[in-house]
């Protein structure tokens, strides 16, 4: 897992509209980059809706929001429409960003062990370095945690 002050790994992935989005697109401003396990699951849906509700305030604090999961562009398109997401969600089925950010980890659920995306949020600074890492975040509080941090309250 990346640590504060590490250089943020570059990426170039398609969003829900099929447009390529890269880390360089956000140079000069903060980026809230959140990784989540799967579209249309209860926790991920609540987390996305919370980030959508907070997106305008996050933007007013000089940051952009981007979500990333392994789901397909088509799945992301349906998910973004369903929740009126005003920010890009990136499709990473090959784990080209998920692995370098260290969020592909062993997970245990109901006694079963499998590999998957661990819900994690990174704040990337304007110079492309990891400014903050929120690990194993809760879907219902992730956006508020980010807002508090961006406001200097956390």
Burial of 64 (0-12, 13-18, 19+ CB in 10 A): middle
Nearest to 104 by CA among 112, 90, 92: 92
Beta strands in 1-154 (DSSP E): 12-14, 20-22, 30-35, 63-69, 89-91, 104-109, 112-117, 120-124, 130-135
**Does 44 qualify as catalytic in the annotation?**
yes
| Active-site hit among 8, 33, 44, 146 | 44
The set of catalytic residues is 44
């Amino acid at each position: 897992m990346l640590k504060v002050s590490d250089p943020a790994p570059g990426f170039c992935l398609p969003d829900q509209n099929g447009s390529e989005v890269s880390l360089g697109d956000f140079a000069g401003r903060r980026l809230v980059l959140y990784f989540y396990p799967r579209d249309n699951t209860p926790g991920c849906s609540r987390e996305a809706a919370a980030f959508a509700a907070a997106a305008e305030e996050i933007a007013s604090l000089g940051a952009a929001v981007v979500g990333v999961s392994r789901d397909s562009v088509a799945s992301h398109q349906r998910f973004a429409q369903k929740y009126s997401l005003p920010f890009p969600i990136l499709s990473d089925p090959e784990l080209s960003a998920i692995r370098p950010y260290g969020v592909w980890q062993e997970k245990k659920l109901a006694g079963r062990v499998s590999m998957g995306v661990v819900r994690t949020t990174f704040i990337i600074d304007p110079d492309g370095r990891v400014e903050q890492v929120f690990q194993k975040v809760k879907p219902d509080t992730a956006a508020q945690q980010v807002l508090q941090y961006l406001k200097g309250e956390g």
